[in-house]
Amino acid sequence: MNCIAVRDQLPELAVGVLPQREQVALERHLQWCAGCRKEAAELGQAAATFAFALAPAPLPVGLEDRVVAGVGRLAARPRTRRRPRTVIAAVIAAAIAIASLGWGAVMAGRAERFAERAAQAEQARSRALAQFQHVLDSLPFQARADETHLGQLAPTSAIQRGGGAVLQLVSPTRLDFVVVIVNGLPRDPSLAPYRVTLKDAGGRVLQGGRIAELDADGGGQAFRQFKNTDLTGFTTVMVRDASGRVVLKGTVDQSTGA
Amino acid sequence: MNARTEGPLLAREEQQLVEGLLAGNEDAVRALYVRFARPIFTLGFRLLGSAEAAEELTQDVFLTAWRKAARFDATRGRLSTWLMTIAHNLAVDRLRRETGVTRPTLVLVDEVPEVAAADEDPLLERDAAVRALQALSDAERKLLVRAYFGGLTAREIAQADGIPLGTVKTRLRTALIKVRRANQDKDRP
Return residues 167-206 of A near B (CB < 8 Å): 172
Contact A209, A196 (CB under 8 A): yes
Residue B118 banded pLDDT, cuts 50, 70, 90 = very low
Of A17-26, A49-58, B146-155, B156-165, minimum mean pLDDT range: A17-26
Whole-structure pTM value: 0.59
How far is the CA of B22 from the CAs of A144, A190, A219, B9, B59, in angstroms?
Answer: 22, 45, 39, 18, 15
Are residues A64 and B63, on separate chains, in Cβ contact within 8 Å? no
> Measured over all CA atoms, what is the biggest interatomic distance in chain B, rounded to whole angstroms?
55
Per-residue pLDDT at B83: 93
Q: Chain A contact for B33, CB < 8 A?
A: yes
Are residues B63 and A71, on separate chains, in Cβ contact within 8 Å? yes
- B115 or B162, greater pLDDT: B162
CA distance A81 to chain B (A): 12
Q: What fold characterizes domain B1-101+111-123?
A: Rna Polymerase Sigma Factor; Chain: A (1.10.1740)
Query: Cα–Cα distance between B64 and B58 in angstroms, integer?
Result: 10
Per-residue pLDDT at A133: 62
Query: Cα–Cα distance between A65 and A70 in angstroms, integer?
Result: 9
Q: Is pLDDT at A56 greater than 80 in this prediction? A: yes
Query: Cα–Cα distance between A176 and A226 in angstroms, integer?
Result: 5
Q: Where are the beta strands (DSSP E) in B22-167?
A: none
User: In whole numbers, what is the pLDDT of chain A averaged over residues?
Assistant: 76
Q: State the sign of the Cα–Cα–Cα–Cα dihedral A108, A224, A144, A32.
A: negative
The domain spans of chain A are 3-51, 88-252
User: Which of B33, B88, B114 is opposite residue A64, by nearest beta carbon?
Assistant: B33
Class of domain B125-189: mainly alpha
Query: Cα–Cα distance between B129 and A22 in angstroms, integer?
Result: 29
- A16 or B184, greater pLDDT: A16
Query: Is the peptide bond preceding residue A78 cis, with omega within 30 degrees of 0?
Result: no
CB contacts of B180 in chain A (<8 Å) are 42-43, 45-46
Query: pLDDT tens digit string along A88-135?
Result: 545 554 554 554 444 433 343 444 555 666 666 666 666 666 666 666
How would you classify the pairing of strands A236-240 and A246-252?
antiparallel
Are residues B55 and A76, on separate chains, in Cβ contact within 8 Å? no
Q: Is pLDDT at B102 greater than 50 in this prediction? A: no
Q: Is pLDDT at B174 greater than 90 in this prediction? A: yes
Per-residue pLDDT at B48: 86
A209-223: average pLDDT: 83
B54-69: average pLDDT: 92
- A236 or A24, greater pLDDT: A236
Query: Cα–Cα distance between A106 and A126 in angstroms, integer?
Result: 14
Architecture of the domain delimited by A88-252: Sandwich (2.60)
Give the best-scoring range by mean pLDDT among A154-158, A218-222, A246-250, B115-119. Answer: A246-250
The domain spans of chain B are 1-101+111-123, 125-189
ipTM of the complex: 0.78
Query: Cα–Cα distance between B154 and A3 in angstroms, integer?
Result: 19
